[in-house]
Structure 1
Amino acid sequence: MSTESANNGSRWLPRLMGALLLLMGLALLAGGIKLSQLGGSLYYLIAGIGFALSGILLLAQRRIALGLYGLVLLASTVWALLEVGLDWWQLVPRLAIWFAIGVVLLLPWARRPLIGPASKANTALLSVAVVASGACAVASQFTHPGEVFGELGRESSEMASAAPAMPDGEWQAYGRTEHGDRYSPLRQITPQNAYRLEEAWRIRTGDLPTENDPVELTNQNTPLKVNGMLYACTAHSRLLALDPDTGAEIWRYDPQVKSPVGTFKGFAHMTCRGVSYYDENRYVSRDGSPAPKITDAGQAVAQACPRRLYLPTADARLIAINADNGKVCEGFANQGVIDLTTGIGPFTAGGYYSTSPAAVTRDLVIIGGHVTDNESTNEPSGVIRAYDVHDGHLVWNWDSNNPDDTKPLAPGKQYSRNSANMWSIASVDEDLGMIYLPLGNQTPDQWGADRTPGAEKYSAGVVALDLATGKARWNYQFTHHDLWDMDVGSQPTLVHLKTDDGVKPAIIVPTKQGSLYVLDRRDGTPIVPIREIPTPQGAVKGDHTSPTQARSDLNLLGPELTEQAMWGATPFDQMLCRIQFRELRYEGQYTPPSEQGSLIYPGNVGVFNWGSVSVDPVRQLLFTSPNYMAFVSKMVPREQVAEGSKRESETSGVQPNTGAPYAVTMHPFMSPLGVPCQAPAWGYVAAIDLFTNKVVWKHKNGTTRDSTPVPIGLPVGVPSMGGSIVTAGGVGFLSGTLDQYLRAYDVNNGKELWSARLPAGGQATPMTYTGKDGKQYVLVTAGGHGSLGTKMGDYIIAYKLAE
């Protein structure tokens, strides 16, 4: 081979790098011009010029290209440090590609073909820049932005659980008790032995998604353990009784749910979070009081079905089932069934039913219902109804549009349309005689001009009703004139708190907006201060905003978003995210929806959602998994709505808002490459000391293993959908992260103690119980979440300590 041929062959690498840098530089330049016109950072424009010139010089085989590239890389490193400091995940899109190119340019095969003065200054400058950016990457491995490290340092607070008594090894209600604390007094599993947990058994329910199901088919069930059995429901409302030691099926009940249009595809979502349990002997054995008053019809039910389960179905029924054998309790209501559509009026298929378990008390079974968000201004009532727990007759009803008239609705009449609803789980304090309702808002979510006085008073807050009469005893609204879908999705947690003024019966209400409101549950007065803060103004034409919003001093709000907080997998989609940020309206939390498009943060999935929190009443510790994801909300004038536009789910796509002057489009704030536009972490685990109301510890939680095309588990901290539990043994459990794991944590310091890979998404709240063998089990439903995109399945899996 001739010398000329060899030289030509060796020049391909700098030419290739030159062409690549020229294209990259031009892309940055184009985007940088756009960003600068919007008032954003000038970095991309300047860097684009620098990288493009470096590319041109490399194509021309000029050695000075190395020095120029080194200068731009060094300047980029300084800029990145000034913007985000030593935050590894924020440095990656700013420097990773440029660092890698710098390393390649230092290779002999890239340097030797270059021509120009033989000075080593160019290579030295590039070397310094590469070393500097590499050193930043190394140093950032030892920092933990956004995390809090600490330890509770106490095993007991001299407080005891005020929740209703039950055997330690049982889980009798969705939140274990009607107080919704998700706390178990079991202590076999500890931080010292949790590593020994292993799978005890798994079963498959056989309930898998079909082509007739909606996108948002989810498996959010938390099974019960009571009456010597486990009880679990599936997305299609099937109910299974299982042996707690082996998972063997004891009986199964299938209500054969039906859609009025023959398919469930049009349903906004389809799930069953749980069932409710009632035992005729419970109250007598619990406090020695006489049994509840029962009608003759109820007495027959009590004798035939002394232990009952109440199953809500996706076709709006509430069915009473004998917990012993799975047979319908025929004497209850109408052949064992309450038709929840009675008095509701017309609605689209899937537009009304209960996704959550009813609350059960001595005398009542109390239930709300899901109403489809943003469908129209004429949706079904959000009425909450209390039925006799024995014979199923209607005892009272509470409708936020008609709150003072709680006597049972007369036959043939209808409840008010479009009132605020309760789609989540209520909590009950039978000693105080109150039920606490977490209320949603009046749909449409982003259009409030048509809100009723009742909605303006009660929606997006908590309401305490008198158990005997259904009358409101007190209420506290957390979001005034809600335009952001800030439904209270979390079950309130009832706990006795030790304060400077003595022990107080408290209610803790976690909310989507990141505040945890702590009130005296006797009268609704704040225990932790709540301040009314000024908020951005300027709603769309015809609507208005509240001048202030309620913010609790106890909150897990993240910092407000800035252009510097924008992220991406590369500098290019990060730049596009910065452009999007500048184009959207954003003035902080509670920025009103707009025709321009508004950035909503926290987004409508919320910091806290239906998973709520768990509270250890003995340690006075709150354990939780907050999320931080922004959404984009854009109001679309009715005349601009494209014909045939369809929603993807209640939180994505075009939402019709029929009857309002605007439709709305909503979607997560994502880069063109499908990663969030805001920097991680997007999900944490955290603990709060309820003595001091301070965060004890807070750590990133979860990996990208199941969220990217390449299954690499980057520990960025991912969102979680599902609740946590905490035990007297000092171990908390959580399974709702987007990666498919059940994890155990030391609640004193947040250390991850153990994890188990799940065969499908674990977007449900785990539970724990004692088996017939005397062993403590931890159980989780792993069935996936359709709209979150986690793997679907039909698994129930139990774990216990290895022998």
Structure 2
Amino acid sequence: MQNILWKASAFSVALTGAVGLFLVHGSGSKASAADAKGSAPYTQWREYGGSPDDAQYSALKQINRSNVTQLKQVWFYPAGRNGFRFGSNPIIIDNVVYVIGLDNSIAALDATTGKQIWIHQTERPQNITNRGLNYWESKDRSERRILFSINNKLTALDARTGETIDSFGDHGLVDLREGLGRDPNSIRQIRSGTPGKIFDDLIILGSATGEEYESPPGDLRAYNVVTGKLAWQFHTVPHPGDIGYDTWPKGAWKYIGGTNTWGEISIDEKRGIAYFPTGSPTYDFYGADRHGADLYSDCLIALDARTGKYLWHFQTTHHDLWDYDLEAGPKLLTVNHDGKKIDVIAEAGKNGFVWVLDRVTGKPIWPVEERPVPKSPMPGEESWPTQPFPTVIPPFARQKFTADEVDPYIADPKERESIRQEILAARNEGLYTPPSTDPTLETPGNNGGANWGSTAIDPSTSTFYVLSKDAPSMLKLEPKPPHFEMRGSPETQGQVIYVQNCALCHTATLQGQPPGVPSLIGIVQKVGADRVKSTVQNGLSPMPAFPDLSDADIGNLIAYLSHPADAHVPPDILTRLEHPPAPRPSLEPGVTTRYWTGYGYMNSSDGLPAIGPPWSTLTAYNLNTGKIKWQIPFGGVTRLEEKGITNTGSYWPRGGVVVTAGGLIFGGSKSDSTFRAYDKDTGKVLWEVKLPAGPEGIPAVYEIAGREYVIISARPDSDKVVSAGGVAPKEEDESAGANTTQETQGYYVFALPE
């Protein structure tokens, strides 16, 4: 078996010349391609993350430490009714901002005023690449395209008009479910919420496969941006003959899913290398059907961006049983190491570790140790005996939750003690305690650590920034019950479906586990049956898709969610459904019981994490030394601040920060509805504004006619929303079905006074 931690290909990495993708788009602008090509690095925001290397950095410095307090909101664009998720990172080409708009439409806006230039309405039900868009143009600028995925299909629009390009794919659509070695009609979810990357005439994509048994594999793919034809494909669950095939059971590629890049991709344009962070294999928390290290799950993978050929990989978790995905964009920078400059790649994970590797070889620049970890007690499971640990770079998140660390601000002493006893009784043997049928504590948690959009760099100082959260989970594996048939009304049948598939996370009373697992009380009335059906079929991170539920099952489920009081499942059957008997061990070789668990988010009754604050932090690393420069709580919680409780950090921030040459870090905290500017060298807050909605996603920084702008998306939060500071005008157009109350979800744009 090859080295499962780090491996480089036999052929060399081609050190090609600079590709030069500094292109521009003009919508009534006099800017030329030559102007864009000659632009200084990091001075435009033409793609998600700001640049091909996903730096989340801007070299603009008109807005700086000395004047940031003068920032004022200059325009707002409403983009409400986008379902449960928003957090879109706009792209700016010349004087045009492209965004995800109202009802998941695509909109082009004047970058200085916010005035709508065109809008492209998308089809329902809408499951869209909601975090951003891709832009491409031909060398002579005769072709200019916006590319995104919706309802598991890749599509292209004319960037000047918003019209679908019929010659792309099959009348403007490429079915992303095809070519994965599964029946396309069986694939409920494959489109990622994160856009891909443009390189030459290719769009390079990851995917969101879902988290359940029978999910499709997360193959990495590139399509021609002109024709829509598949250019290359890399199997993240290796096929026979592929490197890594021997790290799985024979034929695993036929049934294993996941191992996907649902987060961000980075590209080294000079070398023509694309870097992909991958997630865990399915099923996330039980791997008896996938004995082995499971390449290429939980890996950084380097591929030739033009051909998809394997260059190297580095695996951060072997045989993942904790859902310790990598999804933050790999950051490319140059560091001073042992007296010489080295081009490196830095990646932060859900488990709280930072990995720093040589960008060309994939070899760690500081030693990584394989250390013994606890063995799984689950039947049929073969957990990996060791896991990799960085030896120099300290973790940015807490990796253990003890009984003495329960949130002291929980009002009820009995509840605090109950959580404390729950922790004392749980299996809690450190970062890699394998889940079992006994309660098992997981910290930072399967939705903790670093997530999408959560890292940024300052290339001038070799500083790496990580926005992270501590969100412990309590896992408890149970046999997945067989489908139970029951006669009765649609509501009654729907209650059975709910108890078997949904109650583990959303609770038997539909109340959910805020903030990560929303309440489903009145959900159909709030968002509509189509949206609920789409979410169940396709998933919505962190919720998995449920591909084994038929249309009839989902219809009954919607009936129950609409009128739960009309369901009449007998109490004895409910008890059997909620506590199914343990199945007998299988006598057939290779056949195992399917175990599953909810995500187990450990929250108190007030909806906040059960662990004491800070719940989210912003950490700055000096990657020349591997040491932490500073760490601060990131944001707060409005209802706690009203009681004088500060520096708690936001709960469950969604998105990340942007660093600028003006000495600033811009980022938004959803749970206190505040957009802030920090000093990038100290973490000190220099400016803040309360918005009428909770900021989320990655800010974008751009310049038009010598004036610098900062834009952030925001949506209403379940916590108290403070409507001071930011200005969201009332939506008057009732004919469009808009709310007559104040519209707050959308894009807030700031600049210095003219």
Question: Shared topology, TM-score over 0.5?
Answer: yes
Q: Which residue of 2 aligns with 1:370?
A: 208
Question: CA 1:247 to 1:520, structure 2 compared with 1: closer, same or farther past 3 Å?
Answer: same
Q: Which residue of 2 aligns with 1:118?
A: none
8 Å contact 1:704–1:711 — kept in the other structure? Answer: no
Question: CA 1:539 to 1:422, structure 2 compared with 1: closer, same or farther past 3 Å?
Answer: farther
**Separation (CA, whole Å) in 2 of partners of 1:604 and 1:755:** 31
- Please tell me whether residue 248 in structure 1 is matched to residue 121 in structure 2: no
Query: Once the 2 structures are TM-superposed, how far is the Cα of residue 429 of structure 1 from its aligned partner?
Result: 1.5
- Please tell me whether residue 478 in structure 1 is matched to residue 331 in structure 2: no
CA deviation profile, 1:641-670 (whole Å, cap 9, x unmatched): 995323345778999898952121222212
Equivalent of residue 463 in structure 1, options 301, 305, 313: 301
Q: What is the one-letter code of the residue matched to 2:125?
A: K
8 Å contact 1:598–1:634 — kept in the other structure? Answer: yes
Q: Which residue of 2 aligns with 1:426?
A: 265
8 Å contact 2:405–2:611 — kept in the other structure? Answer: yes
Query: Once the 2 structures are TM-superposed, how far is the Cα of residue 783 of structure 1 from its aligned partner?
Result: 2.2
Q: Which residue of 2 aligns with 1:511?
A: 349
Q: What is the one-letter code of the residue matched to 2:462?
A: Q
Question: CA 1:592 to 1:347, structure 2 compared with 1: closer, same or farther past 3 Å?
Answer: farther
Query: Once the 2 structures are TM-superposed, how far is the Cα of residue 673 of structure 1 from its aligned partner?
Result: 4.6
8 Å contact 1:208–1:793 — kept in the other structure? Answer: no
8 Å contact 1:427–1:436 — kept in the other structure? Answer: yes
Question: CA 1:549 to 1:557, structure 2 compared with 1: closer, same or farther past 3 Å?
Answer: farther
Pairwise mapping of residues 335-350 of structure 1 onto structure 2 (< 5 A)?
Answer: 335-344=171-180, 345-346=183-184, 350=188
**Separation (CA, whole Å) in 2 of partners of 1:632 and 1:652:** 16
Query: Once the 2 structures are TM-superposed, how far is the Cα of residue 421 of structure 1 from its aligned partner?
Result: 1.5
Question: CA 1:713 to 1:194, structure 2 compared with 1: closer, same or farther past 3 Å?
Answer: farther
**Separation (CA, whole Å) in 1 of partners of 2:341 and 2:177:** 43
Q: Which residue of 2 aligns with 1:307?
A: 144
Question: CA 1:533 to 1:738, structure 2 compared with 1: closer, same or farther past 3 Å?
Answer: farther
Structure 2 residues not aligned, in runs of 5+:
1-17, 23-35, 243-251, 485-495, 507-516, 518-539, 549-591, 723-742
CA deviation profile, 1:451-497 (whole Å, cap 9, x unmatched): 276x7121011111122331211111101110111111111111122
- Please tell me whether residue 189 in structure 1 is matched to residue 57 in structure 2: no
Secondary structure (helix, strand or coil) at the match of 2:417 reads: helix
Secondary structure (helix, strand or coil) at the match of 1:549 reads: strand
Pairwise mapping of residues 368-517 of structure 1 onto structure 2 (< 5 A)?
Answer: 368-373=206-211, 375-376=212-213, 378-402=214-238, 416-419=254-257, 420-451=259-290, 456-517=294-355
Q: Which residue of 1 aligns with 2:443?
A: 601
Equivalent of residue 557 in structure 1, options 388, 391, 397: 397
Equivalent of residue 407 in structure 2, options 567, 570, 588: 567
Question: CA 1:227 to 1:415, structure 2 compared with 1: closer, same or farther past 3 Å?
Answer: farther
8 Å contact 2:335–2:462 — kept in the other structure? Answer: yes
Q: What is the one-letter code of the residue matched to 1:384?
A: L
Equivalent of residue 702 in structure 2, options 749, 765, 769: 769
Q: Which residue of 2 aligns with 1:704?
A: 637
Equivalent of residue 81 in structure 2, options 208, 225, 239: 208
Q: Which residue of 2 aligns with 1:178?
A: 52
Question: CA 1:230 to 1:675, structure 2 compared with 1: closer, same or farther past 3 Å?
Answer: closer
Q: Which residue of 2 aligns with 1:794?
A: 745
Q: What is the one-letter code of the residue matched to 2:81?
A: L
Secondary structure (helix, strand or coil) at the match of 1:738 reads: helix
CA deviation profile, 1:660-706 (whole Å, cap 9, x unmatched): 52121222212345442211111112211122221111112222205
**Separation (CA, whole Å) in 2 of partners of 1:510 and 1:578:** 30
Q: Which residue of 2 aligns with 1:743?
A: 676
- Please tell me whether residue 334 in structure 1 is matched to residue 201 in structure 2: no
8 Å contact 2:659–2:666 — kept in the other structure? Answer: yes
8 Å contact 1:623–1:747 — kept in the other structure? Answer: no
8 Å contact 2:55–2:332 — kept in the other structure? Answer: yes
- Bigger-Rg structure (1/2): 1
- Please tell me whether residue 715 in structure 1 is matched to residue 610 in structure 2: no
Q: Which residue of 1 aligns with 2:432?
A: 590
8 Å contact 1:706–1:790 — kept in the other structure? Answer: no
8 Å contact 1:441–1:460 — kept in the other structure? Answer: yes
Q: Normalising to structure 2: TM-score of the pair?
A: 0.73
8 Å contact 1:194–1:754 — kept in the other structure? Answer: yes
Q: Larger helix proportion, structure 1 or 2?
A: 1
Equivalent of residue 710 in structure 2, options 774, 778, 794: 778
Q: Which residue of 1 aligns with 2:463?
A: 621
Q: What is the one-letter code of the residue matched to 1:626?
A: S
Question: CA 1:224 to 1:539, structure 2 compared with 1: closer, same or farther past 3 Å?
Answer: farther
Secondary structure (helix, strand or coil) at the match of 1:481 reads: coil
225-234 or 596-605: bigger deviation:
225-234
Question: CA 1:707 to 1:445, structure 2 compared with 1: closer, same or farther past 3 Å?
Answer: farther
**Separation (CA, whole Å) in 1 of partners of 2:218 and 2:187:** 16
**Separation (CA, whole Å) in 2 of partners of 1:594 and 1:794:** 41
Secondary structure (helix, strand or coil) at the match of 2:414 reads: helix
Q: Which residue of 1 aligns with 2:665?
A: 732
Question: CA 1:348 to 1:221, structure 2 compared with 1: closer, same or farther past 3 Å?
Answer: farther
**Separation (CA, whole Å) in 1 of partners of 2:337 and 2:103:** 45
8 Å contact 1:585–1:591 — kept in the other structure? Answer: yes
- Please tell me whether residue 273 in structure 1 is matched to residue 131 in structure 2: yes
**Separation (CA, whole Å) in 2 of partners of 1:233 and 1:660:** 43
Q: What is the one-letter code of the residue matched to 2:310?
A: A
CA deviation profile, 1:545-601 (whole Å, cap 9, x unmatched): 211111223231326322211224243222111111112111111111111111110
RMSD: 3.0
**Separation (CA, whole Å) in 1 of partners of 2:68 and 2:125:** 44
Q: Which residue of 2 aligns with 1:548?
A: 386
Q: Which residue of 2 aligns with 1:752?
A: 685
Query: Once the 2 structures are TM-superposed, how far is the Cα of residue 400 of structure 1 from its aligned partner?
Result: 1.9
8 Å contact 2:86–2:131 — kept in the other structure? Answer: yes
Question: CA 1:485 to 1:538, structure 2 compared with 1: closer, same or farther past 3 Å?
Answer: same
Q: What is the one-letter code of the residue matched to 2:146?
A: L
**Separation (CA, whole Å) in 1 of partners of 2:643 and 2:74:** 27
Question: CA 1:385 to 1:681, structure 2 compared with 1: closer, same or farther past 3 Å?
Answer: same
Query: Once the 2 structures are TM-superposed, how far is the Cα of residue 224 of structure 1 from its aligned partner?
Result: 0.4
8 Å contact 2:46–2:135 — kept in the other structure? Answer: yes
**Separation (CA, whole Å) in 1 of partners of 2:283 and 2:272:** 33
CA deviation profile, 1:336-369 (whole Å, cap 9, x unmatched): 2212122342466852222111211013111121
Q: What is the one-letter code of the residue matched to 2:397?
A: L
Query: Once the 2 structures are TM-superposed, how far is the Cα of residue 785 of structure 1 from its aligned partner?
Result: 7.0
Query: Once the 2 structures are TM-superposed, how far is the Cα of residue 383 of structure 1 from its aligned partner?
Result: 1.6
CA deviation profile, 1:708-744 (whole Å, cap 9, x unmatched): 9x78763322232211100001000111442211110
Equivalent of residue 595 in structure 2, options 662, 668, 691: 662
8 Å contact 2:129–2:191 — kept in the other structure? Answer: no
**Separation (CA, whole Å) in 2 of partners of 1:789 and 1:756:** 15
Structure 1 residues not aligned, in runs of 5+:
1-160, 265-269, 283-301, 407-413
Q: What is the one-letter code of the residue matched to 2:647?
A: P
Secondary structure (helix, strand or coil) at the match of 1:441 reads: coil
Query: Once the 2 structures are TM-superposed, how far is the Cα of residue 501 of structure 1 from its aligned partner?
Result: 4.5
